[in-house]
Structure 1
């Protein structure tokens, strides 16, 4: 009877929490977090930031329907509120002071749509299986 109760508990836990809970999936989540932290450290050491003196780089985005546009990237920790673009003569514009190096970025349209820069030919795959635009300063 104890064995049947044990099997029943396993079945219930597997259906409620998923089979990964039963076979130790939480350990692999910890490993994935460690891998992401290591990857972020490597990326930060290879990419530049906006701290200190750098080079002014202008970014533009053209859209007749956008009501808000911002730029996110490794230079602002992907914060969509950090660098909004201003609309001038129908074109969204901003200028950022970037340190020399490669910078990955995207535009955020209306706070919801993350897109690559349509004017930037260079892009790389990101960890979410999407693409990031790349600009090299320097």
Structure 2
């Protein structure tokens, strides 16, 4: 798994590209507090090499909690900037700091 951050000079926005290796998966999405944890909003596109990839524009200067949903299973990003405990899910969430 990987995260790439590209800060725009013209706007206070960061293009965040999420990459998830999941060759055997049918669907991967990213859900976080920016999209109200909606598992339908941010689907990642499956590439020929078996990874899923997608880009989300997020406001710079903030931190966001998120998880991947791989065929219905919630997973953390191993390269997250931090992890924070979620009482709702009773587990850690990944954190990306922009």
- TM-score w.r.t. structure 1 length? 0.57
User: Does the C-alpha gap of structure 1 residues 99 and 121 become closer, same or farther in structure 2, counting only changes over 3 Å?
Assistant: closer
Matches of 1:90 and 1:82 in 2, distance apart?
21
Q: Which runs of 4+ in 1 moved over 4 A?
A: none
Mark the structure with the bigger radius of gyration: 1
Aligned pair 1:70/2:29, yes or no?
Answer: yes
Structure with greater proportional helix content: 1
Instruction: Between the two structures, name the one with larger relative contact order (CA 8 Å, sep ≥ 6).
Output: 2
Matches of 2:12 and 2:36 in 1, distance apart?
18
Matches of 1:62 and 1:92 in 2, distance apart?
6
Moved more, 115-124 or 81-90: 115-124
Aligned pair 1:105/2:66, yes or no?
Answer: yes
Report the CA distance between 1:63 and its aligned residue. 1.3
Unaligned regions of 5+ residues in structure 2, if any? 1-10
Q: Which residue of 1 aligns with 2:83?
A: 123
Aligned pair 1:60/2:19, yes or no?
Answer: yes
How many matched pairs?
85
Structure with greater proportional strand content: 2
What is the root-mean-square deviation of aligned Cα atoms in Å? 1.6
Matches of 2:23 and 2:82 in 1, distance apart?
24
What's the CA shift string for 1:57-91, capped at 9, x where partnerless? 11111112111000000010000000000012321
Unaligned regions of 5+ residues in structure 1, if any? 1-51
Secondary structure class of the residue paired with 2:53: strand
Aligned pair 1:134/2:95, yes or no?
Answer: yes
Report the CA distance between 1:53 and its aligned residue. 5.5
